[in-house]
Amino acid sequence: MSRFLSQKLQGLEAYVPGEQPRDKRYIKLNTNESPYPPPADVANAVGKAEIEDLRLYSDPECTALKSAVAKQYGVNTENVFISNGSDEVLNFAFMAYGDNGAIFPDITYGFYSVFANLYGIKPQIIPLRDDFTVDINDYCGKNSLVVIANPNAPTGIALELSEIEKIVSSNPDGIVIIDEAYVDFGAESAVKLTEKYSNLLVVQTYSKSRSMAGARLGFAIADQSIIQDLEKIKYSTNPYNINSITQIAGAAALNNQAYFDSNSKKIAETREYVKKELINLGFTVTDSKANFLFAKSDKIGGKELYLSLKERGVLIRHFESKRIKDYNRITIGSREEMEIFLKNLHEIIGGKK
Ligand code: PMP
């Protein structure tokens, strides 16, 4: 740290992303990426002309992409905000709506507490139940910024849409963010509630079910007034937040929703298969509706398992925090990748009593 850093940033604890090692090729089951590439529509949309156009600034209004997202979700373009990964819109929302505090679970996406800290928001952190489920009563009638990942991460456990609606309707004077990064793998989206509730902000990403984590593309759907707030922040920080190649790629990807739906289905099927195998091996596994499993074994500690698998070229995600240190989060890859994961797991666990 230099002596010049603003005093208010000196105590900041930055987010630590999952490992992205470049030393060798791992079977990468640690950051919830898709095992499948984007559809051919994307490659076909980015040619020489688009590369030559990189000399120009990108469209700050993301006109074509916004229209494509609006069409896909049956909303108006005024209800859509496009962001540089969903992390960016989450960042903007904490900046915009945290004046009366923020409330979220103790076990959830780690960036929420980083954003709260960044903006001097004192978070109210609510422990999940012992079985890692959310008690929605904890989030009703709070009228501060409520942040719920649905499905939650890293547990993968989802709330019903009726439960989400209860949270939203009971907080008329606070924004409720529903972070739907993993919704396409088996939960129900709250997008349709945005028409009815002007305090609901639904956030989604291209990074998981849409196979485009490297493009850095996210979006949010909400009442027009909320979108205007987010646009104001964007135009006060980085008006050209989405590069032109990503805008083209993002719009082209939506031409082939069927491809994504079929991949999400395959991933959900593989998840259920791997879950059964883990249970057969004695693991405790949560009821994940996401593209990952969250599991612990009585035979081996979370960190030891993570390290043993890493040595064998398989990366999974281990978290140090006390309540979940025995668990690991395992991204669902292709069936072939998961067979290799399971084979290694059998070898590691097989030797343990
Ligand atoms: N929300 C949740 C729950 C996540 O797990 C992630 C991925 N780390 C994100 C948001 C952010 O993803 P991205 O910025 O790639 O859209």
- Does 353 score more than 80 pLDDT? no
Q: The whole model's pTM is what?
A: 0.97
Dump pLDDT digits (tens) for 68-102. 999 999 999 999 999 999 999 999 999 999 999 99
Cβ 333 under 6 angstroms from ligand 1: no
pLDDT score recorded for residue 24? 78
Could you say which DSSP state residue 218 is in?
Answer: E
What's the rounded Cα separation, in Å, for the pair 240 and 287?
40
| Average pLDDT rounded to a whole number, residues 3-24 | 91
Mean pLDDT of the chain: 97
| Average pLDDT rounded to a whole number, residues 209-234 | 98
Ligand 1 centroid distance, CA of 15 (Å)? 12
Collapsed DSSP state (helix, strand, coil) of residue 151: coil
pLDDT score recorded for residue 23? 81
Sheet architecture: strand order including 145-149: 80-83, 218-222, 200-205, 176-179, 145-149, 102-105, 123-126
Dump pLDDT digits (tens) for 136-169. 999 999 999 999 999 999 999 999 999 999 999 9
Backbone angles phi, psi at 229, to 5 degrees: -60, -45
Residues 6+ apart with CB under 8 A from 243: 58
Backbone angles phi, psi at 285, to 5 degrees: -130, 135
Dump pLDDT digits (tens) for 274-330. 999 999 999 999 999 999 999 999 999 999 999 999 999 999 999 999 999 999 999
- Does 224 score more than 90 pLDDT? yes
Sheet architecture: strand order including 292-296: 284-285, 292-296, 327-331, 317-318
- The radius of gyration computed from the CA coordinates of the chain, to the nearest angstrom, equals 20
- Give the up-direction half-sphere exposure of residue 78: CA atoms within 13 A in the CB hemisphere: 4
- Does 351 score more than 70 pLDDT? no
**Judging by beta carbons within 10 Å of its beta carbon (0-12, 13-18, 19+), is residue 10 exposed, middle or buried?**
exposed
Cβ 87 under 6 angstroms from ligand 1: yes
pLDDT band with cut points at 50, 70 and 90 for residue 22? confident
Phi-psi label, residue 194: left if phi above 0, alpha if psi -120 to 50, beta otherwise: alpha
* Tokens of residue 76, six digits: 């108006």
Nearest ligand 1 atom to alpha carbon 149: 3
Q: Which of 94, 111, 203 to mutate to test the pocket of ligand 1 (most atoms within 8 A of CB)?
A: 111
Cβ 88 under 6 angstroms from ligand 1: no
Ligand 1 centroid distance, CA of 180 (Å)? 9
Ligand 1 centroid distance, CA of 181 (Å)? 6
pLDDT score recorded for residue 15? 94
Residue nearest to atom 3 of ligand 1 (CA): 109
Which H or E element spans position 179? strand 176-179
Cβ 34 under 6 angstroms from ligand 1: no
- Does 6 score more than 90 pLDDT? yes
